[in-house]
Structure 1
Amino acid sequence: MRIGIIGNGAMADALGTQWRRAGHEVAAGSRSGGLREAAESGTDAVLLAVPYEAAVQVVAELEEVLRGRVLIDCTNPVGPGFALLTAGGPAAAERIAAAAPAARVVKAFNLCHVDVWRLTPPVFAGRPLAVPLCGDDEAAVSVVRHLARDVGCEPLNAGGLDRAGLLEATAALFIRLWVGEGADAQAIAPPVAFAGS
């Protein structure tokens, strides 16, 4: 696949490196140079890997380039005190989709610290990391599902883009538990056998 990455920070580097290892052609750019070119090069998928505070404006500036493209949103609208900046809605992913309505937005890769995405593969106690995906376009979700597997993860269908806010709120909760409390957030969920039917 040809993947463009909007941004050149840690997430762009981590996921871009993994996808290059998997044989994909990856180009990244930032606001200081190459942003439009990176988006244009992502004929199969474009990863939005900029801070949430800049995401909507950046996407709006690239609206025409992103038309029809799979746009992967890995942003987290989490502010000081682990506050969810989009509380009350709409979700960050929905705001991004509104800024480029012809793009096919999929929320993914937002629940883990960048160091997790550098693991090859991210497997814990023999279990591959699960990556929830939210999107309304099944073909776009299928592309992101493939890219999650290429990182060594197990993609999970988390519903449409209207459920992306739940992923974003989960990230805010997990970050607070991990960073603020030093807690094992994984311990809050029982194995599926005990989750009820």
Structure 2
Amino acid sequence: MKIAFLGYGQVGAPLADHLQQLGHEVTLAANDPQSARARRALERNSQLKLAPAKDAVRNADVVFLATPFEANEAALETVAEEVRGKILVDCTNPVGPKLSHGLNSLQSGLEKVQQIVPDTLVVKAFTIYGFENFENSAFPDYNVKPVMMYCGANTRAKETVAQLIAQLGWEPLDVGGAEQALHLEHMTLLWVRMVRVNGQSPHRVWATLTR
């Protein structure tokens, strides 16, 4: 599968690295290939490709949005035509003052993304934990896989993203339509408060059990 990344920092870089190692053709949208962030990504995995944002997105089957939330609009408007009709994995979270929801819980970040690029198939995923768990999703001392919850309006898009989630070592859990994104974003805030504020382990994740 051809995958492009808009954003390849703490979240995007490990996901891009692991997906490339799984055999996918992964391209970083790098208008400045000499940037420090691009160089760090290539130091992690020299097999990652670099291309201008429009080219990277145009040639991709799936696009990961892993920019800081406040950079989403500029990043997406740059590739608005190229991303049309494609699967867009929204890995971003709106975070406001004092770890509040950045959109005041009036709408989800996914809904905001969908407004910017209305003709894309947006799936919310890779948002409910910190970057440490994208570096390594293995929990060998347990007989269950960690769960990765995801949501979105388009069934086909969600099926594709679920395949990528499973390949990356997670148990995919479809929690519903796009309206569920706000709840996932609040789960992110819960995790951040537990870990970044209260000092719990950053390698704390959830699992799903079905009787």
Q: 1:190 to 1:16 in 2, by over 3 A?
A: closer
- In 2 relative to 1, CA 47–123 (structure 1 residues): closer, same or farther, beyond 3 Å? farther
- The 5-angstrom pairing of residues 40-189 of structure 1 reads 40-42=58-60, 44-119=61-136, 121=138, 125-183=142-200
**Cα deviation per residue 1:32-52 (whole Å; 9 max; x = unaligned)?**
46222221221x210001000
1:134–1:159 CA contact under 8 A, matched in 2: yes
Please give the alpha-carbon distance, in whole angstroms, between the structure 2 residues aligned to 1:133 and 1:20. 21
Q: Which amino acid aligns with 1:38?
A: A
SS at match of 1:85: coil
2:17 — aligned with what?
Answer: 17
Cα gap change, 1:81 to 1:129, in 2 (>3 Å)? same
Deviations along 1:85-144, one digit per CA (max 9) or x if unpaired, are 022321111100111111000000001211211116455623211111111110000110
Return closer, same or farther for 1:190/1:66 CA change in 2, 3 Å cut-off: closer
Q: Which amino acid aligns with 2:158?
A: V
Identity of aligned residues (%): 28
| Cα pair distance change 1:193/1:144, threshold 3 Å | closer
Count of aligned pairs: 192
Report the TM-score when normalising by structure 2.
0.82
Seen in structure 2, the aligned counterparts of structure 1 residues 177 and 60 have a Cα distance that, compared at 3 Å, is same
Residue 138 of structure 1 aligns with an amino acid whose one-letter code is T
**Matched residue SS, 1:106:** strand
TM-aligned CA distance change 1:31 to 1:134, over 3 Å: farther
Cα distance change, pair 89–22 in 1 and its aligned pair in 2 (3 A): same
Cα distance, 1:60 vs. partner? 2.6
Greater mean alpha carbon deviation, residues 123-132 or residues 168-177: 123-132
Please give the alpha-carbon distance, in whole angstroms, between the structure 2 residues aligned to 1:92 and 1:122.
29
Q: Is the 8 A contact 1:122 1:153 kept in 2?
A: no
TM-aligned CA distance change 1:141 to 1:171, over 3 Å: same
Distance 2:130 2:163 in 1: 21
Contact 2:123 2:151 in 1 (8 A): yes
- What residue ranges of structure 1 are gaps of 5+ in the alignment? none
Q: Distance in 2 between matches of 1:30 and 1:79?
A: 28
The question of whether the paired residues in 2 share the 8 Å contact of 1:12 and 1:28 is answered with no
Alignment partners' CA distance in 2, 1:101 and 1:191: 32
Distance 2:117 2:208 in 1: 38
Whether the aligned pair in 2 keeps the contact of 1:72 and 1:107 (CA below 8 Å) is yes
User: Closer, same or farther in 2 for the Cα pair 1:117/1:111, shift >3 Å?
Assistant: same
Contact 1:121–1:151 (CA under 8 A) maintained in structure 2 = no
Amino acid at match of 1:161: A
- Whether the 8 Å CA contact 1:73–1:105 is kept in 2: the answer is yes
How has the CA–CA distance of structure 1 residues 88 and 116 changed in structure 2, closer, same or farther, with 3 Å as cutoff? Answer: closer
Secondary structure of 2:56's aligned partner: helix
RMSD (CA atoms) = 2.5
Letter of the 2:55 partner, please give it: E
- Retained in 2: the 8 A contact 1:76–1:110? yes
Q: Counterpart of 2:104 in structure 1: which amino acid?
A: A
